[in-house]
Amino acid sequence: MNATSANSNVSSGRSEGEFTEKTKRIIADRAGHVCSRPHCRVAPRGPHSESDKAANIGVAAHISGAAPKSARWDEGLLKAERKAPENGVWLCWPRSVRIDVDENRFSPALLRAWFGAAVNDQEWLLSAARAPIATGGTVACSGEIWSSDGVLAAIGGSTLLCMPSERRPDGRGKT
C-alpha cells in the first residue's frame, strides 16, 4: 500500500476491521434482510424511484468496533475476528446509528442476542415455509390468530408473520 492510499484510509475513518462485501451479504442473508432489533424487524430494502435500482438502508453493523475509539471496541479481538460475520448484526440505518451513539445501552451481549434471535426467526420461517399455517380451525383472540397446530400468526399491516408458540391461550397445541 502506498502512502497516499494509507493516508486516505486513515482520513476516511476506514480500518482493517471493516467487513468485506461478502461478509455484509452473509450478515444480511442470515438475518433475512430484516432489522435484527426486536420490535423493529423492518425490511430495509425496497423500490427506488428508478425502476432498475433498489433502495437499501440496511447496515451490517459491528458488534465490537472495527477500529480503536469506535463503539464497543474490544482490543482483545484479532483482526480476523473483527471482520468475521460473527461480529456483525444486520440493522436498519436508524438502529445502526442508535447503537453507536449509546454504546452503554447497546452492549455486545445485547447485540449478539438480537442477531441470534433474528437468525433463529429466519431459521424457523424457512422450516415453516413447507406448509400453510392455518390448516384446520383457527381461534381468534385479541388480535392473535392460532392455528390448530399451535402456531401463532400475528397480523401487522399487510404482512402475516408466523411465529412459533410455546403455549396457546386455550391450552392446546405446542407446550
Summarize pLDDT for 70-119 with one digit per residue, the tens.
Answer: 999 999 999 999 999 999 999 999 999 999 999 899 999 999 999 999 99
* Sheet with strand 144-146: strands edge to edge: 139-141, 144-146, 152-156, 159-163
Burial of 9 by CB count in 10 Å (0-12 exposed, 13-18 middle, 19+ buried)?
A: middle
pLDDT range class, residue 136, cuts 50, 70, 90: very low
Q: Quote the pLDDT of residue 163.
A: 47
Ranges 23-37, 77-91, 101-115, 133-147: which has the least confidence:
133-147
User: What percentage of the chain carries pLDDT values higher than 90?
Assistant: 53
Q: In whole angstroms, what is the distance from residue 102 CA to residue 111 CA?
A: 13
Q: Quote the pLDDT of residue 138.
A: 42
User: What percentage of the chain carries pLDDT values higher than 70?
Assistant: 64
> Do the beta carbons of residue 30 and residue 91 sit within 8 Å?
no
Q: In whole angstroms, what is the distance from residue 84 CA to residue 102 CA?
A: 23
pLDDT range class, residue 127, cuts 50, 70, 90: confident
Global pTM reads 0.66
Q: Quote the pLDDT of residue 13.
A: 47
Q: How far is CA 164 from CA 26, 30, 43, 149, in A?
A: 25, 19, 20, 10
